[in-house]
A and B are shown apart, each in its own frame.
Chain A
């Protein structure tokens, strides 16, 4: 079993914080498909469409028949550890700081032999589950886990580095008024978060769930993502101990372009959904990036809650979808900007929600706040980049990947008329 992590001691104020270092980032274009699978927690390898061989490492041609038709397919994770070593030294700073490091080869049931990081609880020559995780360079790496879960296995230093586990971490929920805030706070608490902060806009306007958050012990602090000074002020106060930031601020109204007839709500949508994200990132991003290797409660992840309408515009929430598309694009810029530090950006996509009143006229299914909260926590624990919560988000993702134009045409039906 893994030795359970203790809450980290208070920082020694006379010691400088450790600068983030990273494992190697460069990959071939073919190998990035492994990263793409890791980003949503799937273990996939190339299987030759012509001869059926599964190969690793990824290549541009089949190592058996030279075919270039090499689709990526999800693989069974089972395998056997056939050889291992413990690396004691490395020219690479990231590994030097984390020595000794266990690595080995696994004979996969699916065929190939792969090089993998090895979890501390894996016994020699044991059966293992191979999973793919994003490392701190944001690249997919293979990890051999014990065949069945072991106690505290998520506390292994390797797993801490390959996740953004909320355990012992301090989390900021940016908008306490969000319909999803109480469920998120409960799920984070259950996952062992040390402190949960919540930003509260417009404290002069009461809302019923405040009492619920207070009862959960959430620390409610003033912040409005549309007010730059308030965001800077809260970042000044708690930016240095925000390990995970979950942006729940969202402005949502139905309507597209013509049925609204003005830009009023659209401006609010951009102020909250797009510029709000930018203000938060400008205020909290630098300190979080600087603390991405700061021990047990290092800054680990930035979480955006996005409507799946960000992928393809979803009427009758056309203008809102456009603001979500803007936020999604901005999140990709943030990924690039955070990348040198190792701070992760996780996007959680979802369809209409149960608790937001504006979806009341839509038929089910709707995503409940507790389902969304489970997805957020699960994504953090697995170190994912993209999470698709609920049937609608998963369906739209699949259709988008099959053919974005076909999806667009289906989403923009004019209805039968004369």
Chain B
């Protein structure tokens, strides 16, 4: 049996589990909030065109609208100023093979439960590698915080001094790019950067370094607790939007039952 036929058979039999890491596109799902002078991320919206009625007797359909960065979404290098001059920086230009790859999940859920500004640091990554092995080149690295289980105001966790949610330090992101050559970095929070990420140098280091190096971001992921630390394969293909800087998408993981 070919590898692909074997894969299909094992998915059908349940030996390989398909895990959905995607939030439902819901008009009430939080989006990132910027100072009001800036342009804002559009919320997901859905307008009925017809519903088996006088507007279309036998069919129901909707017009939908949203930002490229609404809901569970993909960040392309073109999203950030550091990546704007890179080749193949927009979602429609990226090699589709890059959308599928191995995934390492660093469990920060305990730390994030105790400290809403919890930081993923280089020592933490090295500690994870001591237990699970070195992060392979070309891997997706996901920061599990169980933040996707939060609801309502607790998700953005916005206060007078801005949002509070976990994220990586500038050094940790540089380490993952420079030392481990990762494909991209994914989180359960609204941004790859910490809620207070604007106060690092450089501001928003995950966005700045990842996209400047042509790497990808995945945000608003859910259910990362369903993934093993290593061994799963991530499928994260954004919509093919011309010059798109990102896209809502369905993120799936293939997990081999052992």
**Residues of A near any B CB (own CB < 8 A):** 202-206, 222, 224, 226-230, 253, 262, 264-265, 268, 357
What chain A residues lie within 8 Å of B30 (beta carbons)? 202, 204-205
Q: Is the CB of A229 within 8 A of B156?
A: no
Contact of B28 with A by CB under 8 A: yes
What chain B residues lie within 8 Å of A226 (beta carbons)? 43, 45
| Residues of B within 8 A of A (CB-CB), count | 18
Q: Is the CB of A228 within 8 A of B47?
A: yes
* A224 with B153, Cβ < 8 A, contacts A229-B46, A268-B40 known: no
Count, A-B residue pairs, CB within 8 A = 44
For window 145-181 of chain B, which residues contact chain A by CB distance below 8 Å? 152-153, 155-156, 158-159
A268 to B45, CA, bound (A): 12
- 26 of the cross-chain contacts (CB-CB < 8 Å) are A202-B30, A202-B43, A203-B28, A203-B152, A203-B153, A204-B28, A205-B30, A205-B33, A205-B156, A206-B153, A206-B158, A206-B159, A222-B28, A224-B27, A226-B43, A227-B28, A227-B45, A228-B45, A228-B47, A228-B48, A229-B46, A230-B27, A230-B28, A264-B39, A268-B40, A357-B36
For window 40-72 of chain B, which residues contact chain A by CB distance below 8 Å? 40, 43, 45-48
Q: Is the CB of B152 within 8 A of A204?
A: yes
User: With A206-B153, A224-B27 given, can you name 19 additional A-B contacts, CB distance below 8 Å?
Assistant: A202-B30, A204-B153, A204-B155, A204-B156, A205-B33, A205-B158, A206-B158, A224-B28, A226-B45, A227-B43, A228-B45, A228-B46, A228-B47, A229-B27, A230-B27, A262-B39, A264-B39, A265-B39, A268-B40
A230 to B27, CA, bound (A): 9
What chain B residues lie within 8 Å of A206 (beta carbons)? 153, 158-159
- How near does chain B come to A342, taking the closest CB pair, in angstroms? 28
Write the chain A residue with the least CB distance to B37.
Answer: A253
What chain A residues lie within 8 Å of B153 (beta carbons)? 203-206
Per CB-CB distance, the 9 closest pairs between chain A and chain B, nearest first, are: A227-B27, A204-B30, A264-B39, A204-B152, A204-B153, A206-B153, A228-B47, A203-B152, A204-B155
- How near does chain B come to A204, taking the closest CB pair, in angstroms? 4
A2 to B40, CA, bound (A): 55
What chain A residues lie within 8 Å of B152 (beta carbons)? 203-204
A357 to B155, CA, bound (A): 26
- How near does chain A come to B56, taking the closest CB pair, in angstroms? 17
Write the chain A residue with the least CB distance to B48.
Answer: A228
A392 to B39, CA, bound (A): 30
A253 to B47, CA, bound (A): 25
Write the chain B residue with the least CB distance to A252.
Answer: B36
